[in-house]
Amino acid sequence: MTEESKTMSNFTVILVQPQNPENIGLVARNMKNTGFENLRIIRQRELDSKSYKTAVHSRDILEKTRFYSSLSEATGDLDLIFAATSKRRKNFPFLSLEDAVTKMFEFPPATKIGLLFGNERTGLTSDELLSSNFRFAITQSARQPSYNLASAILLTLFHIYSSTGLKKTQISWEKPISRKEQDECIQLVLDKLEKKKFIHKTNKQHMTEMIYDLFGRLAMTSRDKKLLLALFSK
């Protein structure tokens, strides 16, 4: 599949009987942050106002949330279910988060994927794990505590989001000036320093190298160049 073709709208987050309404709001916010929009909740009829309180700028996700009385109803129209679990269970081998996400992207783009998360206290029961295609666990440093529900979901969604190839556009360093221009700037500074006798015959080689190194590390932009030339003309 190509990078562009997998979109977050093919994913659905499914919560089984969450007990903390604030968590649902946090999940909505995490979904918004990472570009997901489909939320389903099992064994709960409606949302508590506390959920709306933590769903900063994510009300729309809560408003579209769908409620189901059973797991099979909630997953029936999706294609693959990936279940998050923190416990190793005899009959349920599991993938790392990274491998699970890799796997998700091995299926055709139109594949509808459900991401299943259990209750805060119990996690997913063996019964609930049954109806998943793959189980995955998020590595953690110590045995205890496990990730909190909203945190586990955030890490999962962020990893998927980061894998779509849609990201990284807005963040970037400013473009450096051409290497030629950088050299010219450094040379001007060196000339200045030589005139000031800061650089002289005996230290010239060494100082030149040090200043090239120092200025090189800046990956100089045109703004930097202006600043440096101003600094060194005084």
Write out the residues near a copy of itself by the rule CB under 8 A.
8, 26, 29-30, 32-35, 56-58, 93-96, 98, 137, 139-142, 144-148, 150-151, 154-155, 158, 161-162, 167-168, 170-174, 193, 196, 198, 210-211, 214, 217-219, 221, 223-224, 227-228, 230-231, 234
DSSP of 46-70 = S--HHHHHH-TT-HHHHHT-EEESS
Nearer to a copy of itself, 34 or 132 (CB): 34
Pairing of strands 113-117, 11-16: parallel
Could you tell me the strand order of the sheet in which 11-16 lies?
A: 66-68, 38-42, 11-16, 113-117, 80-84, 134-137, 95-96
Minimum CB–partner distance for residue 73 and a copy of itself (Å): 28
Other CB atoms within a 10 A radius of the CB of residue 29 amount to 19
What single-letter DSSP state applies at residue 96? E
Angle at 104 between CA 102 and CA 110, to 5 degrees: 140
Nearer to a copy of itself, 130 or 214 (CB): 214
Minimum CB–partner distance for residue 234 and a copy of itself (Å): 5
Report yes or no: 115 and 156 within 8 Å, Cβ to Cβ. Answer: yes
Closest CA to 74 of 126, 14, 122: 14
Minimum CB–partner distance for residue 227 and a copy of itself (Å): 6
Nearer to a copy of itself, 179 or 196 (CB): 196
Other CB atoms within a 10 A radius of the CB of residue 14 amount to 23
Nearer to a copy of itself, 68 or 134 (CB): 134
Minimum CB–partner distance for residue 68 and a copy of itself (Å): 26
Nearer to a copy of itself, 37 or 68 (CB): 37
Minimum CB–partner distance for residue 22 and a copy of itself (Å): 9
Minimum CB–partner distance for residue 78 and a copy of itself (Å): 20
Nearer to a copy of itself, 45 or 195 (CB): 195
Helix 222-233 and helix 179-195, axial crossing angle in degrees, nearest 10: 10
Residue 209, helix vs strand vs coil: helix
